[in-house]
Amino acid sequence: MVNGITNDASAAAAAMKKATGMNKDDFLKLFVTQLQNQDPLNPADSTEFIGQLAQLTQVEQAYNTNSNLSAIIDLFNGAASLSSVSYIGKTVTANGDLIKLAGGSHPTLGYRLAANAQKVAIDIKDLSGTVVRTLTLGSTQAGDGTIGWDGRDGKGNPLPDGRYTFSVTGFNAEGEKFQGYPLLTGTVEAVNLEGKEPHVTVGGISVPLGNIISVKGA
Protein backbone atom coordinates (compact mmCIF):
# COMPACT_ATOMS: atom_id res chain seq x y z
CA MET A 1 0.00 0.00 0.00
CA VAL A 2 2.82 2.43 0.90
CA ASN A 3 4.61 1.61 -2.33
CA GLY A 4 1.40 2.28 -4.26
CA ILE A 5 1.00 5.71 -2.66
CA THR A 6 4.63 6.56 -3.34
CA ASN A 7 4.32 5.49 -6.95
CA ASP A 8 1.15 7.58 -7.40
CA ALA A 9 2.86 10.64 -5.95
CA SER A 10 5.87 10.16 -8.23
CA ALA A 11 3.61 9.72 -11.24
CA ALA A 12 1.69 12.88 -10.32
CA ALA A 13 4.90 14.87 -10.05
CA ALA A 14 6.10 13.54 -13.41
CA ALA A 15 2.78 14.42 -15.05
CA MET A 16 2.90 17.95 -13.64
CA LYS A 17 6.46 18.47 -14.85
CA LYS A 18 5.56 17.24 -18.32
CA ALA A 19 2.56 19.57 -18.51
CA THR A 20 4.11 22.71 -16.98
CA GLY A 21 7.87 22.27 -17.23
CA MET A 22 8.24 22.03 -13.44
CA ASN A 23 6.72 20.26 -10.49
CA LYS A 24 5.61 21.66 -7.14
CA ASP A 25 9.08 21.29 -5.56
CA ASP A 26 10.71 23.12 -8.48
CA PHE A 27 8.21 25.92 -8.08
CA LEU A 28 8.82 26.21 -4.33
CA LYS A 29 12.58 26.43 -4.91
CA LEU A 30 12.05 29.16 -7.49
CA PHE A 31 9.76 31.01 -5.10
CA VAL A 32 12.27 30.83 -2.21
CA THR A 33 15.10 31.94 -4.51
CA GLN A 34 13.06 34.94 -5.57
CA LEU A 35 12.41 35.89 -1.95
CA GLN A 36 16.09 35.56 -1.06
CA ASN A 37 17.25 37.74 -3.95
CA GLN A 38 14.55 40.39 -4.08
CA ASP A 39 15.27 44.05 -3.43
CA PRO A 40 14.24 44.78 0.20
CA LEU A 41 13.27 48.31 -0.85
CA ASN A 42 11.12 47.03 -3.73
CA PRO A 43 9.82 43.56 -2.79
CA ALA A 44 8.23 41.47 -5.52
CA ASP A 45 4.52 40.76 -5.49
CA SER A 46 4.18 37.11 -4.46
CA THR A 47 0.48 36.91 -5.36
CA GLU A 48 1.14 35.55 -8.86
CA PHE A 49 3.56 32.91 -7.56
CA ILE A 50 1.10 31.77 -4.90
CA GLY A 51 -1.70 31.56 -7.48
CA GLN A 52 0.42 29.45 -9.82
CA LEU A 53 1.48 27.21 -6.95
CA ALA A 54 -2.19 26.69 -6.10
CA GLN A 55 -2.87 25.70 -9.71
CA LEU A 56 -0.02 23.19 -9.65
CA THR A 57 -1.40 21.73 -6.42
CA GLN A 58 -4.84 21.37 -8.04
CA VAL A 59 -3.28 19.51 -10.98
CA GLU A 60 -1.55 17.15 -8.57
CA GLN A 61 -4.75 16.55 -6.60
CA ALA A 62 -6.76 15.93 -9.78
CA TYR A 63 -4.18 13.42 -11.00
CA ASN A 64 -4.23 11.58 -7.67
CA THR A 65 -8.04 11.55 -7.70
CA ASN A 66 -8.06 10.00 -11.19
CA SER A 67 -5.52 7.41 -10.07
CA ASN A 68 -7.69 6.49 -7.08
CA LEU A 69 -10.80 6.23 -9.26
CA SER A 70 -8.93 3.96 -11.68
CA ALA A 71 -7.92 1.74 -8.77
CA ILE A 72 -11.54 1.54 -7.57
CA ILE A 73 -12.73 0.64 -11.09
CA ASP A 74 -10.09 -2.09 -11.27
CA LEU A 75 -11.36 -3.48 -7.96
CA PHE A 76 -14.95 -3.55 -9.23
CA ASN A 77 -13.86 -5.23 -12.48
CA GLY A 78 -11.94 -7.81 -10.48
CA ALA A 79 -14.99 -8.53 -8.34
CA ALA A 80 -17.15 -8.89 -11.47
CA SER A 81 -14.63 -11.31 -12.95
CA LEU A 82 -14.67 -13.48 -9.85
CA SER A 83 -18.47 -13.43 -9.61
CA SER A 84 -18.74 -14.61 -13.22
CA VAL A 85 -17.40 -18.01 -12.10
CA SER A 86 -20.78 -18.59 -10.43
CA TYR A 87 -22.35 -18.77 -13.92
CA ILE A 88 -20.84 -22.23 -14.51
CA GLY A 89 -23.61 -24.83 -14.76
CA LYS A 90 -26.36 -22.24 -15.18
CA THR A 91 -28.52 -21.75 -18.25
CA VAL A 92 -28.02 -18.38 -19.92
CA THR A 93 -29.46 -16.52 -22.87
CA ALA A 94 -27.20 -14.08 -24.68
CA ASN A 95 -27.17 -11.91 -27.77
CA GLY A 96 -25.34 -13.79 -30.51
CA ASP A 97 -25.75 -15.61 -33.81
CA LEU A 98 -22.99 -18.24 -33.60
CA ILE A 99 -23.65 -21.95 -33.06
CA LYS A 100 -21.31 -24.91 -33.08
CA LEU A 101 -21.78 -28.46 -34.32
CA ALA A 102 -19.56 -31.02 -32.62
CA GLY A 103 -19.84 -34.79 -32.39
CA GLY A 104 -23.43 -35.06 -33.58
CA SER A 105 -24.70 -32.34 -31.24
CA HIS A 106 -28.18 -30.85 -31.65
CA PRO A 107 -27.88 -27.14 -30.86
CA THR A 108 -30.75 -25.06 -29.51
CA LEU A 109 -31.28 -21.79 -31.37
CA GLY A 110 -32.84 -18.87 -29.56
CA TYR A 111 -34.73 -15.97 -31.08
CA ARG A 112 -36.52 -12.76 -30.12
CA LEU A 113 -39.45 -11.23 -31.98
CA ALA A 114 -40.54 -7.63 -31.49
CA ALA A 115 -44.05 -8.39 -32.83
CA ASN A 116 -46.37 -11.33 -33.40
CA ALA A 117 -45.54 -13.31 -36.53
CA GLN A 118 -47.66 -15.44 -38.83
CA LYS A 119 -44.50 -17.32 -39.78
CA VAL A 120 -40.86 -17.30 -38.69
CA ALA A 121 -37.91 -18.35 -40.86
CA ILE A 122 -34.55 -19.15 -39.29
CA ASP A 123 -31.75 -19.38 -41.86
CA ILE A 124 -28.69 -21.36 -40.81
CA LYS A 125 -25.53 -20.51 -42.75
CA ASP A 126 -22.03 -21.87 -42.95
CA LEU A 127 -19.13 -19.47 -42.45
CA SER A 128 -19.04 -18.69 -46.18
CA GLY A 129 -22.58 -17.27 -45.86
CA THR A 130 -24.34 -20.08 -47.73
CA VAL A 131 -27.73 -21.07 -46.31
CA VAL A 132 -27.54 -24.77 -45.42
CA ARG A 133 -30.90 -25.12 -43.69
CA THR A 134 -34.02 -23.07 -43.07
CA LEU A 135 -36.13 -23.86 -40.01
CA THR A 136 -39.70 -22.56 -40.02
CA LEU A 137 -42.25 -21.87 -37.32
CA GLY A 138 -45.94 -21.17 -37.70
CA SER A 139 -47.86 -18.49 -35.81
CA THR A 140 -45.52 -17.20 -33.10
CA GLN A 141 -46.08 -14.58 -30.43
CA ALA A 142 -43.72 -11.69 -29.79
CA GLY A 143 -40.99 -12.38 -27.26
CA ASP A 144 -38.26 -14.97 -26.79
CA GLY A 145 -38.34 -18.57 -27.91
CA THR A 146 -36.16 -21.51 -28.92
CA ILE A 147 -36.06 -24.15 -31.62
CA GLY A 148 -33.89 -27.24 -31.93
CA TRP A 149 -31.69 -28.10 -34.90
CA ASP A 150 -30.66 -31.67 -35.68
CA GLY A 151 -27.43 -30.61 -37.38
CA ARG A 152 -28.64 -31.64 -40.85
CA ASP A 153 -29.07 -29.69 -44.08
CA GLY A 154 -32.30 -29.21 -46.00
CA LYS A 155 -31.95 -32.64 -47.64
CA GLY A 156 -31.46 -34.46 -44.35
CA ASN A 157 -27.71 -34.92 -44.71
CA PRO A 158 -25.53 -34.51 -41.60
CA LEU A 159 -23.43 -31.36 -41.78
CA PRO A 160 -19.74 -31.33 -40.83
CA ASP A 161 -18.65 -30.19 -37.40
CA GLY A 162 -17.79 -26.53 -37.14
CA ARG A 163 -19.27 -23.12 -36.59
CA TYR A 164 -22.42 -21.78 -38.21
CA THR A 165 -24.42 -18.57 -37.97
CA PHE A 166 -28.16 -18.01 -38.10
CA SER A 167 -30.58 -15.17 -38.74
CA VAL A 168 -34.24 -14.72 -37.81
CA THR A 169 -36.99 -13.25 -40.00
CA GLY A 170 -40.63 -12.81 -39.04
CA PHE A 171 -43.60 -12.43 -41.40
CA ASN A 172 -46.81 -10.69 -40.35
CA ALA A 173 -50.35 -11.56 -41.45
CA GLU A 174 -49.92 -9.45 -44.61
CA GLY A 175 -46.77 -11.34 -45.56
CA GLU A 176 -44.51 -8.42 -44.76
CA LYS A 177 -41.24 -9.46 -43.20
CA PHE A 178 -39.47 -7.94 -40.23
CA GLN A 179 -36.17 -8.65 -38.56
CA GLY A 180 -35.95 -10.95 -35.57
CA TYR A 181 -32.96 -11.27 -33.27
CA PRO A 182 -30.82 -14.40 -32.85
CA LEU A 183 -30.06 -15.51 -29.31
CA LEU A 184 -27.55 -17.99 -27.99
CA THR A 185 -28.93 -20.19 -25.23
CA GLY A 186 -27.42 -23.04 -23.26
CA THR A 187 -25.50 -24.10 -20.17
CA VAL A 188 -22.31 -22.28 -19.21
CA GLU A 189 -19.46 -24.78 -19.49
CA ALA A 190 -16.50 -22.58 -18.55
CA VAL A 191 -15.42 -19.02 -17.74
CA ASN A 192 -12.38 -17.24 -19.17
CA LEU A 193 -11.11 -14.38 -16.99
CA GLU A 194 -8.36 -13.23 -19.35
CA GLY A 195 -8.69 -9.87 -21.07
CA LYS A 196 -10.68 -6.79 -20.08
CA GLU A 197 -14.04 -8.59 -19.92
CA PRO A 198 -14.78 -12.14 -18.75
CA HIS A 199 -16.14 -14.57 -21.34
CA VAL A 200 -18.31 -17.62 -20.72
CA THR A 201 -18.40 -20.70 -22.93
CA VAL A 202 -21.86 -21.82 -24.06
CA GLY A 203 -22.21 -24.69 -26.52
CA GLY A 204 -18.55 -24.33 -27.43
CA ILE A 205 -18.97 -20.61 -28.21
CA SER A 206 -17.15 -17.89 -26.27
CA VAL A 207 -19.61 -15.18 -25.19
CA PRO A 208 -18.72 -11.83 -23.56
CA LEU A 209 -20.29 -11.54 -20.13
CA GLY A 210 -21.94 -8.28 -21.19
CA ASN A 211 -23.90 -10.10 -23.92
CA ILE A 212 -25.84 -12.21 -21.40
CA ILE A 213 -29.44 -11.04 -21.01
CA SER A 214 -30.84 -13.70 -18.66
CA VAL A 215 -29.62 -16.39 -16.26
CA LYS A 216 -31.45 -19.39 -14.84
CA GLY A 217 -30.27 -21.52 -11.94
CA ALA A 218 -28.88 -24.99 -12.50
The pLDDT of residue 61: 72
Asked if residue 107 and residue 33 are part of one domain, the reply reads: no
The pLDDT of residue 3: 42
Asked if residue 106 and residue 49 are part of one domain, the reply reads: no
The pLDDT of residue 140: 96
Helices (H), the chain: 2-20, 24-37, 47-83
Closest CA to 149 of 138, 163, 133: 133
Asked if residue 55 and residue 119 are part of one domain, the reply reads: no
The pLDDT of residue 14: 56
Tens of pLDDT, residue by residue over 169-179, are 999 999 999 99
Asked if residue 180 and residue 199 are part of one domain, the reply reads: yes
Task: Report how many domains make up the chain.
Answer: 2
Asked if residue 62 and residue 103 are part of one domain, the reply reads: no
How far is C-alpha 190 from the chain's CA centre?
18
On the 0-12 / 13-18 / 19+ scale of CB atoms within 10 A, 42 is exposed
Domain that holds residue 36: 2-86
pLDDT cut 90: percent of the chain above it? 48
DSSP state of 197: S
Closest CA to 113 of 154, 76, 90, 147: 147
DSSP state of 211: G
Q: Domain boundary residue among 37, 65, 86?
A: 86
Asked if residue 72 and residue 103 are part of one domain, the reply reads: no
Tens of pLDDT, residue by residue over 4-60, are 434 544 555 555 555 555 556 666 676 667 666 766 666 656 666 566 666 666 766
Asked if residue 102 and residue 133 are part of one domain, the reply reads: yes
Asked if residue 94 and residue 82 are part of one domain, the reply reads: no
The pLDDT of residue 6: 42
What is the pTM assigned to this prediction?
0.61
100 — alpha (psi -120 to 50), left (phi > 0) or beta? beta
Asked if residue 68 and residue 132 are part of one domain, the reply reads: no
Contact 187, 94 (CB under 8 A): no
Q: Domain boundary residue among 53, 86, 119?
A: 86
- Please report which confidence band the pLDDT of residue 164 belongs to, taking 50, 70 and 90 as the band edges: very high
Asked if residue 94 and residue 76 are part of one domain, the reply reads: no
Asked if residue 96 and residue 46 are part of one domain, the reply reads: no
Q: Domain boundary residue among 33, 57, 86?
A: 86
The pLDDT of residue 85: 79
Asked if residue 77 and residue 98 are part of one domain, the reply reads: no
Mean of all residue pLDDT scores within the chain = 80
Q: Tell me, what CATH number does 171's domain have?
A: 2.60.40.4070
Contact 27, 56 (CB under 8 A): yes
Instruction: Decide: helix, strand or coil at residue 210.
Output: helix
Tens of pLDDT, residue by residue over 149-159, are 999 999 999 99
Q: Give the CB-side neighbour count of residue 200, counting CA atoms within 13 A.
A: 31
**Would the pLDDT of 73 be above 80?**
no
Q: Give the CB-side neighbour count of residue 177, counting CA atoms within 13 A.
A: 8
Largest CA distance in the chain: 104
